Amino acid sequence: MIVKTLKVVKIGGNIIDNEEELYGFLEQFSKINTPKILVHGGGKEATKLANKMGVEVKMTNGRRITDETTLDIATMVYAGKINKQIVAKLQRNNCNAIGFSGADGNTIVSEKRPVKDVDFGFVGDIVDVNPDVVKLLVNHNITPVFCALTHDKKGQLLNTNADTIASELAISLAKDFNVELYYCFEKKGVLQDANDDNSLIETINTLTYQDLIHKGVITDGMLPKLNNCFHAINNEVAKVCVGKTEMLFEINSKFTNIKK
Ligand SMILES: Nc1ncnc2c1ncn2[C@@H]1O[C@H](COP(=O)(O)OP(=O)(O)O)[C@@H](O)[C@H]1O
Ligand SMILES: CC(=O)N[C@@H](CCC(=O)OP(=O)(O)O)C(=O)O
């Protein structure tokens, strides 16, 4: 049996924030002719709106502390503005797309993160992914577009890091597809020095990963990102890459390859 390739592509805040870059990316993404899923964050935009509204923003280990007002902001920004704008742009490019939160189609169920040292509020840790609806859509050439919200199946939406949504979706589809997972952001990949684009680390494996954490190269938002990369590569996802969007479209482009 031939196993189809499915690309799960996650785009982060710095791409979404740059209108020109986002539209250019969506144009090229639309042309990918294998089944594909787009997952978007939008943390930066949520932070901007919170600031405008005078709502304090608190982040711990790359995760947003989400009180009731912050959850409202996240819902408006992620599931509303960003998700619908992306779907509309994909439609313009003749890529038939449908916007999803984890509540839609009961695709991603999560559990409110238990309070330990930190109370994250309405932040969800994924406990179950039901990829049936997603499989049906991609097999009919329709592209699901996921935002960073999940639900607890008891009526509560929960804020969930978009990188985690991408890895869990990728893993849930790895039984049926040859899944490739791409984390796109504004840097070439994982850099030895975050301010030097020439310091790209081309391959990271489990061993070198621990060393990079130790040396303080991987910090803040990069910690959950890399954690998700290894979670995916250790759970049957065929390929995991971190870098600029070019890595999807340009054969000679350089990026970080995640290996077991
Ligand atoms: N070693 C590193 N290599 C690349 N980027 C880094 C590194 N350390 C910190 N960063 C910063 O981490 C950010 C990525 O994390 P995050 O804000 O969560 O991005 P995203 O919105 O793509 O999820 C990048 O914008 C980059 O500036
Ligand atoms: C719990 C948590 O931290 N959720 C993230 C979801 C958005 C996100 O992941 O956006 P980026 O990918 O652009 O960073 C947040 O609210 O910032």
Kindly give the distance from the C-alpha atom of residue 162 to the centroid of ligand 2, in angstroms, as a whole number: 6
Looking up residue 147, the CATH number of its domain turns out to be 3.40.1160.10
Kindly give the distance from the C-alpha atom of residue 141 to the centroid of ligand 1, in angstroms, as a whole number: 32
Q: How many CA atoms lie within 13 A of 219 on its CB side?
A: 7
Sign of the dihedral defined by the CA atoms of residues 65, 67, 69, 74, in that order: positive
For residue range 59-107, what is the model confidence (pLDDT) as tens digits?
987 789 999 999 999 999 999 999 999 999 999 999 999 999 999 999 9
Q: What is the pTM of this model?
A: 0.97
For residue range 106-115, what is the model confidence (pLDDT) as tens digits?
999 999 999 9
Quote the number of domains for the chain. 1
Furthest CA-CA distance within the chain: 56
The partner residues of 181 in beta bridges, in order of sequence, read 8, 240
Tell me: is residue 121 an annotated ligand-binding position.
Answer: no
Mean pLDDT of 199-210: 96
The helix/strand/coil state of 143 is: strand
For residue range 205-247, what is the model confidence (pLDDT) as tens digits?
999 999 999 999 998 778 889 999 999 999 999 999 999 999 9
Q: Could you tell me the pLDDT band of residue 27, with boundaries at 50, 70 and 90?
A: very high
Ligand nearest 58 Cα, by number? Answer: 2
- Report ipTM for this prediction: 0.97
Q: What share of the chain is helix, strand, coil (3-state, %, to 5)?
A: 40, 25, 35
Distance CA 125, CA 65 (A): 13
Q: Could you tell me the pLDDT band of residue 57, with boundaries at 50, 70 and 90?
A: very high
Q: According to the model, what pLDDT value does residue 224 have? A: 87
Distance CA 127, CA 111 (A): 7
For residue range 165-175, what is the model confidence (pLDDT) as tens digits?
999 999 999 99
Query: What percentage of the chain exceeds 90 in pLDDT?
Result: 93
In order, the DSSP letters of 145-178 are EE-SEEE-SSS-EEE--HHHHHHHHHHHHTTTSE
Tell me: is residue 64 an annotated ligand-binding position.
Answer: yes
Domain limits for position 82: 5-258
8 A C-beta contact, residue 45 and residue 22: no
